[in-house]
Structure 1
Amino acid sequence: MRTISRAEHLAFVAGRRSASPMQLPSWGELKSQWRSESIGWIDESGAVVGAGLVLYRQLPLLKRYLAYLPEGPVIDWFDPELDRRWLRPMLAHLKAQGAFSVKMGPQVVLRRWEAATVKDAIAGGTARRLRDVEADWHEPQRFELVDGLRRAGWLRSEEGETGFGDVQPRYTFQVPLAGRSLDDIQRGFNQLWRRNIKKAERSGVEVVQGGYEDLAVFHRLYEVTAERDRFTPRPLAYFQRMWTALTAEDPNRMRLYIAYLDGEPLAATTMLAVGEHVWYSYGASADHKREVKPSNAIQWRMMRDAYALGASVYDLRGISDTLVPGDHLAGLLRFKVGTGGQAVEHLGEWDFPLNRLLHEALGRYLKRRR
């Protein structure tokens, strides 16, 4: 295990069907408040067989760091000797770098629920959480993997445990594209989605692909969305840095889409692509003319473009697992279920306290800030 170069890191990712954008060197450039490092696992021949992007956040007044691997690392999670061959060397390396605690978010899928299953669960009202609904697919080794992490001293980052809580979503919604035609993908949408797409077309909504200079248009809509949904927006400069860093790595790594009606922007989104995996990243929309359904139109355009790029999956990113009627997060789930895809549970984020005193102190501090 050692620090690897940017070129080594990108060469390894290029050989993978999927890796999170947050596990690329460019993501470290975006997170300017963190120090970043590419780490690699090297086999006997000298080849990189695993890689991760580590973000280091320094404690005030101390040269000690929280080491975070967002949606990573990218390794063989089902190796029978996962702890000895992969995780212990990583912990030793990070401790030598001054880390007092490690947080990682493996992109291992544990369970999948088909859209019809989720829809029936919402309509039935018998389950309040997706996790309580019988899944359509289970990872056969999920229990062994979770138990192995716990035995090795890792703590799942959930409320009520020592961990700091998940930063990236544990549940996401994905639309499979591989082996399907575009007509088949659209036939998988529910009637409301298909009707909304047609309504946008009849109304004259035009979805165009933008460039760096159009990020300001996106950001104005994003600020409107932030005020409506009551969250603190990121500054325009953040998205400009993201565009510069990611597109320098690959021109198709980040795309921008804007939905116009009669020259007026009504919705805008960003899309990220790595290998055969495409993600819907950020979305924004105006408060008015929502009846012409620009958000449905823009999602369908992104799915078609993801398909053209050869993607095997279109990822609508995070969902809550709540099924409680009236909860606004359940409304977001219903919107994504309309695409006919799958709800997905990942392994989630895990913490390893290298210095338990500092780890617990930071955990208490972060909980007070919530």
Structure 2
Amino acid sequence: MSGSNINSDTNNNINNNTSNNTSNNINNSNTSSDASNPSINKSNTSSNKSNNTNNNKSFIYEYEEFVKSHPKGHFMQSIKWAKVKSNWINEIITVRDENNRIKGSMSLLIRKVPFLNRTIMYSPRGPVCDIYDVETFKSLIEKAKELAVKYKSYVLKLDPDIEIQDTEFCKIVKQLGFKTKNDSENFESIQPRFVFRLDIKGKTEEEVLKNFSQKTRYNIRLAIKRGVTVRIGSKEDIPEFHKIMYETGVRDKFVIRDTSYFETLLDALGENARLYLAYYNGKLIAGTIAILYGNKCWYLYGASSNEHRNVMPNYLLQWEMIKWAIESGCDIYDFRGVSGNLDESHPLYGLYRFKKGFRGKFTEFIGELDYVFNPITYKLVEKSEIAFRELRRQLFVLKAKIAKEK
């Protein structure tokens, strides 16, 4: 492997996300390894409760700094994000150079597939490495293969932060044996395949605001003129935020997470996350959650009441989040998902039009990359997954409708 060391750096002090669903059928022992030589070394530490906390803290710091500073770094590759996903097991894979510095990594989330003695292995927006360094990328895959045996995973699923126009990377993943899935047009994939991204590198608030569409600037000023106020919330505000999140889910027909999920998110991300709340006449009418990690900022969640939408709180909330990104020295503000169908009659066109007004770049990612370990299970699960998500969505809408009629 030409001087590359592969290390699985997960232990009890780094991650306590143990899934009850996997405990009976899967060996979820944590592993660590010695980075002092080029071989793959594993030592089972699952029963050893006396792990070196200082070493763990040192690794966490090293890992987080690597991910934050890397051009392909993403908050979903952080250990903090793994803590949000408390119903998944987390494993961290690193590849080191000849000076024992991390040069590639993947945070893997692993969860049991219902009714099957198999797991899915997922690396959201991974890997974090030079994507053209085939040796490093291949080394990460080899370690993932080892973990796939340990956890009985049927697939390794990636959805890297790489645009579809990158033909060189497309060739690399094909050569490495990945199946590419890029047929999702709306929100069928795990992460959105189409987003808007705003370049704010080295720009002032005035320069950024000036570039917005005239209507977007007007609506921001209208919200201020009408008396909409925005404040930064805390964990204690989550129940109130969740009420309008639920209202949004019912209106737009998508499933929302429970209150505890958002509370965990704020706890785990800490200063990297902000809850923004918009009020009109003293009443909460909209809210958002933004994540700032490294030199990027993401608009992660948004909610709005059915009332007072004409005072344009969502425009002001976006502007407040963008200002946070600017003052923090970010290069990119990511509006996250939109539909890839740009037909004005499409049900999601309004979301596209709203985000487009901030004049970001419409970006299409490469899609999901699947490295299949068990073809039979893969075919079975992939065929049923979309149907299951749609059934779950319809049940949520039906449940909300019944509750409203009571």
| TM-score, reference length from structure 1 | 0.84
- Distance in 1 of aligned mates of 2:315 and 2:293: 23
1:293-338 deviation digits (Å, cap 9, x = unpaired) = 1111111111111111111111100111111121122221111110
The residue number in structure 1 matching 2:207 is 184
Which residue type is aligned with residue 225 of structure 2?
R
Q: How does 1:1-370 map to 2 (within 5 A)?
A: 1-5=6-10, 6=14, 7=60, 8-16=62-70, 19-60=73-114, 63-81=117-135, 84-111=138-165, 142-158=166-182, 166-247=189-270, 251=271, 253-369=272-388, 370=390
> Could you say what secondary structure the match of 1:173 adopts?
strand
When residues 83 and 288 of structure 1 are mapped into structure 2, their CA distance, relative to the original with a 3 A threshold, is closer
**Which blocks of at least 5 consecutive residues in structure 2 are unaligned?**
1-5, 15-59, 391-406
The answer to whether the Cα contact below 8 Å between 2:193 and 2:366 also exists between their aligned partners in 1 is: yes
> Could you say what secondary structure the match of 1:109 adopts?
coil
> Could you say what secondary structure the match of 2:370 adopts?
strand
1:165-214 deviation digits (Å, cap 9, x = unpaired) = 62111111011111222111111111111111111111111111111111
- Distance in 1 of aligned mates of 2:370 and 2:162: 16
User: Once the 2 structures are TM-superposed, how far is the Cα of residue 357 of structure 1 from its aligned partner?
Assistant: 1.5
The answer to whether the Cα contact below 8 Å between 1:9 and 1:38 also exists between their aligned partners in 2 is: no
Runs of 4+ in 1 over 6 A off after TM superposition: none
- Distance in 2 of aligned mates of 1:295 and 1:231: 19
- Distance in 2 of aligned mates of 1:357 and 1:214: 46
Q: Which moved more, 1:93-102 or 1:199-208?
A: 93-102
> Could you say what secondary structure the match of 2:126 adopts?
coil
The answer to whether the Cα contact below 8 Å between 1:18 and 1:275 also exists between their aligned partners in 2 is: no
Highest relative contact order (Cα 8 Å, sep 6+), 1 or 2?
1
Q: Which moved more, 1:91-100 or 1:216-225?
A: 91-100
Which residue type is aligned with residue 323 of structure 1?
L
The residue number in structure 2 matching 1:135 is none
User: Once the 2 structures are TM-superposed, how far is the Cα of residue 284 of structure 1 from its aligned partner?
Assistant: 0.6
Which residue type is aligned with residue 73 of structure 2?
A
The residue number in structure 2 matching 1:120 is none
The residue number in structure 2 matching 1:122 is none
Which residue type is aligned with residue 9 of structure 2?
I
User: Once the 2 structures are TM-superposed, how far is the Cα of residue 105 of structure 1 from its aligned partner?
Assistant: 1.2
- Distance in 1 of aligned mates of 2:264 and 2:197: 27
User: Once the 2 structures are TM-superposed, how far is the Cα of residue 109 of structure 1 from its aligned partner?
Assistant: 3.0
1:130-162 deviation digits (Å, cap 9, x = unpaired) = xxxxxxxxxxxx2121122123221112459xx
**Which blocks of at least 5 consecutive residues in structure 1 are unaligned?**
112-141
User: Once the 2 structures are TM-superposed, how far is the Cα of residue 61 of structure 1 from its aligned partner?
Assistant: 6.2
1:70-103 deviation digits (Å, cap 9, x = unpaired) = 1112111112546544434443444444322110
> Could you say what secondary structure the match of 2:128 adopts?
coil
Which residue type is aligned with residue 305 of structure 1?
W
> Could you say what secondary structure the match of 2:348 adopts?
helix
The residue number in structure 2 matching 1:121 is none
The residue number in structure 1 matching 2:52 is none
The answer to whether the Cα contact below 8 Å between 2:68 and 2:295 also exists between their aligned partners in 1 is: no
| TM-score, reference length from structure 2 | 0.77
> Could you say what secondary structure the match of 2:65 adopts?
helix
User: Once the 2 structures are TM-superposed, how far is the Cα of residue 354 of structure 1 from its aligned partner?
Assistant: 1.0
User: Once the 2 structures are TM-superposed, how far is the Cα of residue 15 of structure 1 from its aligned partner?
Assistant: 3.2
Which residue type is aligned with residue 110 of structure 2?
Y
The answer to whether the Cα contact below 8 Å between 1:18 and 1:277 also exists between their aligned partners in 2 is: no
- Distance in 2 of aligned mates of 1:307 and 1:23: 23
Q: Which moved more, 1:233-242 or 1:74-83?
A: 74-83
- Distance in 2 of aligned mates of 1:82 and 1:320: 33
Q: Which moved more, 1:91-100 or 1:50-59?
A: 91-100
The answer to whether the Cα contact below 8 Å between 2:129 and 2:137 also exists between their aligned partners in 1 is: no
Which residue type is aligned with residue 237 of structure 2?
D
- The Cα RMSD (Å) is 2.0
The residue number in structure 1 matching 2:396 is none
